[in-house]
Amino acid sequence: MKTVAVVGVQWGDEGKGKIVDLLAADADVVVRFQGGNNAAHTLVVDGEKFILRMIPAGALQGKVCVIGNGMVVDPLALVEEIDGLKRRGRALSPADLKISYDAHLILPYHGAIDRAREARLGGRAIGTTGFGIGPAYEDKMARVGLRFEDMNERAAFAERLERNAREKNALLKGVLKAAPLKVTELVEQVLRARNRLRPYLCDTAAYVREAIGAGRRVLFEGAHGVMLDIDHGTYPYVTSSNCGASAVFGGAGVAPGQLDGVLGISKAYATRVGGGPFPSEMSGALADSLRDEGAEFGSATGRPRRIGWFDAVLARHAVRLNGMVGLAVTKLDVLTGIDPLKICVGYESGKTRFDEVPASRRLLAKVKPVYETLPGWSDDVSGARNLGDLPVNARRYLARIAELSGTRLMMVGVGAGREAAIVIENPFAD
Ligand code: IMP
Ligand code: MG
């Protein structure tokens, strides 16, 4: 395949960053097409840890990175991200990083609105990252958002920014009962970021189209996961974008026929950060030990992640929706020593059994999981580089996950480092 999209099967944090970094070795261009800095892709390269928020994970392989039009971008945070990489010897020039003119801006008032709304929701809060993702996408859809293109004319941009900020301050003060922002300071900050980012702006859809036309390999890097998808996830406990493969077309500006395949990424167990249904959630000592073992604390916000067993019902839903040709299962090593292991294979509500996600997402919050039990393993798997290096029970567990999900196993992650992986089938192999 020449063009591959990597999509999260669960609620984000599946380890997409690691898989993208690994696959990027064989790609020419890596494209983000949705979401913003609510994402946080953690990569460990030569023992050094990097967290990328908006810059595609291909940056550490020295590939061309594209911030597509479907993303929402916080210009202040992006400047910080670029500077952070530069400080660590990974400077990105405009030849390395291309930002779409059409991408919408997340501005400081979006974050303030996001946080004020969440605070007012109290116990019903979504548990957002608080970075203004929802309010920025709202402005986009309401056709009042500012885009990178608007930066072209400094005076007109400053004027619109100021007008928006005053309007949002009225909302913050009058309706949300939150502190307003200092408008002059806000405008100055954003204008400074404007000067830094302008050299990177271009028509990224044309760039990607030409790359594909020239036969180059393009990797589309999804953020979050299918269960956080605005349409197909656990609404309203979702993020404000489509997180599946369908978003590649709108969010990167490529035609449907130009995407050769979709690879799903799933952890060997499940996690979720924020509120909302999680049928296979577990609690107690096992959850705590998995959280510690798997370092399951949000990379964007530091929040402890909720922990659960692998949910095959949701995985099947994600595989089908996205036509996933294969699955990369990450963090297998974290399950070492846990015996027995459980896989959620269905749900029950009263006498009703569900083998598929119930149409009512409210019901999903009430169902009881039905588990299948499998024997675990105790040997360290972190050094495995071939399926044959794994204990037989680990292989059985993986095979069962793939079978229940309705797709084939293509990769397995056995540790945090770039090298800690088993590649059964490389999607970029001809
Ligand atoms: P928002 O995207 O900040 O609006 O947050 C909405 C929901 O999506 C919350 O439950 C967040 O915790 C969750 N979320 C957003 N991005 C990610 C991610 O990259 N990983 C895990 N959860 C995420
Ligand atoms: Mg993450």
Domains of the chain in start order, with CATH, are 3-94+203-423 (3.90.170.10), 104-200 (1.10.300.10)
In angstroms, rounded to a whole number, what is the distance separating the alpha carbons of residues 76 and 224? 21
Ligand 1, atom nearest to 274 Cα:
10
Pinpoint the alpha helices (H) of 56-143.
Answer: 75-87, 108-121, 133-141
DSSP 8-state class, residue 240: S
In angstroms, rounded to a whole number, what is the distance separating the alpha carbons of residues 95 and 273? 35
**pLDDT in 10s for each residue of the chain, 430 residues:** 999 999 999 999 999 999 999 999 999 999 999 999 999 988 888 889 999 999 999 999 999 999 999 999 999 999 999 999 999 999 999 999 999 999 999 999 999 999 999 999 999 999 999 999 999 999 999 999 999 999 999 999 999 999 999 999 999 999 999 999 999 999 999 999 999 999 999 999 999 999 999 999 999 999 999 999 999 999 999 999 999 999 999 999 999 999 999 999 999 999 999 999 999 999 999 999 999 999 999 888 889 999 999 999 999 999 999 999 999 999 999 999 999 999 999 999 999 999 999 988 889 999 999 999 999 999 999 999 999 999 999 999 999 999 999 999 999 999 998 899 999 999 999 7
For residue 309, which amino acid is it?
W
Number of neighbours of residue 340 by Cβ within 10 angstroms: 11
Torsion of Cα atoms, 111 then 114 then 115 then 117, to 10° = 150
Q: How far is the CA of 298 from the centre of ligand 1 (A)?
A: 10
Known catalytic residues are: 13, 41
pLDDT at position 130? 96
Ligand 1, atom nearest to 38 Cα:
16
| Residue 16 in tokens | 């997409």
Residue nearest to atom 11 of ligand 1 (CA): 128
Residue nearest to atom 16 of ligand 1 (CA): 38
Q: How far is the CA of 177 from the centre of ligand 1 (A)?
A: 24
Pinpoint the alpha helices (H) of 144-203.
Answer: 154-170, 183-197
In angstroms, rounded to a whole number, what is the distance separating the alpha carbons of residues 271 and 290? 10
pLDDT at position 302? 87
Protein residues with CB under 6 Å of any ligand 1 atom: 11-13, 38-39, 126-129, 131, 133-134, 223-224, 228, 237, 239-240, 273-274
| Residue 315 in tokens | 């995985």
DSSP helix/strand/coil, 281: strand
Number of neighbours of residue 245 by Cβ within 10 angstroms: 25
Residue nearest to atom 5 of ligand 1 (CA): 128
| Residue 127 in tokens | 């548990």
* CA 313 remoteness from chain centre: 20
What is the pTM (predicted TM-score) of this model? Answer: 0.96
- Give the number of the ligand closest to the Cα of residue 40: 2
By most ligand atoms within 8 Å of CB, the mutation choice from 6, 73, 140, 273 for ligand 1 is: 273
In angstroms, rounded to a whole number, what is the distance separating the alpha carbons of residues 135 and 261? 32
User: By C-alpha distance, which of 223, 197, 209 is closest to 32?
Assistant: 223
